[in-house]
Amino acid sequence: MIVLKATQAQYEALDGYRNGDNLLKFAKDGNDNWIVGTAVLNDDAFAAIHDQLNALERIEYVPVPEPQNEIE
């Protein structure tokens, strides 16, 4: 699955952008990258920042490691 990766500067510029009850939040992937799903590129709620979102790097999604106490 392809996701969008933000640099620290891009993260700081975009994270927390809000339009009504829509919010843009990055999450850390398994490689400690700030990522967000590609669905934000087609969401009218984020139209005002689509240019900045389109500038994010496309990378393959890496799941977050399972916490130790979840492992059998």
Residues at the interface with another protein (CB under 8 A): 1, 3, 20-28, 35-40, 42-43, 45-46, 61, 63-64, 67, 69-70, 72
The least CB distance from residue 19 to another protein, in Å, is 10
Q: How far is the CB of 9 from another protein (least distance, A)?
A: 19
One-letter amino acid for residue 40 of the chain: V
Least spacing, CB of residue 22 vs another protein, in Å: 5
* Cα 12 to Cα 68: distance, rounded to the nearest angstrom: 30
Nearer to another protein, 9 or 20 (CB): 20
